[in-house]
């Protein structure tokens, strides 16, 4: 039995080493093509962390090329490579979705925004379901960033999902920073989801406490969001 346990630990250690080594290779990738080949050859063995890191790195290397002067054919090839990598990563991500961390979920959603990729609705739906299960463990930045990415992707969660989000926001609202609050309000406005009265009151109190940290442009976005949600701020919030 001791030999079996030792063997199992060794296998677990070897698996961890493979995941770490793959993570290093992902972070060192220099092109979309290199990442695509890596996903093609090794994606079936990617951990949840590998998947989220690969999405993030794919967006990074793709954006690095954005300023390049390339022919239409080269841009088309790059777009095709990105689409293939997103498709392959989405399939692997659907298998590992239950092991995603809150940051991993946000990284994938944000990467899809930066890639301007058409997301697989089944995959995004699976991440959102996992996000719903994991919301008790979300920090304020996750409660702001994940719905913000969904809003920018044009994906609207269900009413039940949004109700759960707002309830968890209510429990942590006093910790929200100004920028996170701005992202949250923008998302709710895009989803056309008006929080219940108690949360609306608390939101306005937090806006009053933090709006001094925002630029004039960001503050205008906050009030645009409030207007779209038909939440009228009291004079003291406007003066702040």
Using one digit for the tens of pLDDT, what is the confidence trace for 67-99? Answer: 555 554 454 556 788 888 899 899 999 999 999
In the chain the first and final C-alpha atoms are separated, in Å, by 68
Task: Tell me the per-residue pLDDT of 98-126, one tens digit each, with 9 for 90 and over.
Answer: 999 999 999 999 999 999 877 778 999 99
pLDDT 10s digits, 162-179: 999 999 999 999 999 999
pLDDT of residue 74: 52
At 72 the pLDDT is 47
pLDDT of residue 75: 46
- pLDDT, tens digit, 9 for 90 and up, residues 115-157: 987 777 899 999 999 999 999 999 999 999 999 999 999 999 9
Pinpoint the alpha helices (H) of the chain.
Answer: 2-27, 32-42, 48-64, 72-96, 102-115, 121-134, 140-153, 159-172, 178-191, 197-210, 216-228, 235-239
Helices 121-134 and 102-115 cross at an angle (nearest 10°) of 150
Question: Does pLDDT of 50 surpass 80?
Answer: yes
């Amino acid at each position: 039995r001791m030999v079996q346990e030792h063997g199992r630990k060794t296998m677990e250690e070897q698996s961890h080493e493979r995941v770490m080594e793959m993570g290093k290779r992902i972070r060192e990738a220099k092109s979309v093509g290199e990442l695509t080949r890596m996903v093609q050859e090794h994606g079936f063995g990617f951990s949840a962390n590998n998947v989220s890191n690969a999405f993030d790195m794919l967006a990074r290397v793709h954006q690095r090329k954005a300023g390049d002067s390339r022919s239409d054919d080269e841009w088309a090839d790059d777009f095709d490579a990105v689409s293939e990598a997103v498709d392959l990563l989405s399939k692997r991500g659907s298998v590992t979705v239950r092991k995603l961390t809150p940051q991993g979920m946000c990284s994938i959603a944000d990467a899809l925004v930066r890639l301007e990729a058409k997301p697989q609705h089944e995959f995004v739906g699976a991440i959102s379901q996992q996000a719903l299960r994991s919301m008790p463990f979300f920090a304020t930045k996750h409660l702001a960033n994940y719905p913000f990415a969904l809003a920018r992707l044009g994906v609207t969660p269900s009413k039940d999902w949004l109700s759960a989000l707002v309830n968890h926001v209510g429990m942590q609202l006093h910790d929200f920073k100004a920028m996170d609050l701005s992202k949250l309000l923008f998302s709710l406005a895009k989803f056309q989801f008006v929080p219940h009265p108690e949360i609306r009151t608390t939101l306005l109190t937090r806006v009053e406490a933090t709006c001094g940290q925002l630029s004039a442009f960001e503050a205008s976005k906050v009030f645009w969001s409030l207007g779209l949600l038909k939440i009228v701020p009291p004079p003291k919030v406007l003066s702040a």
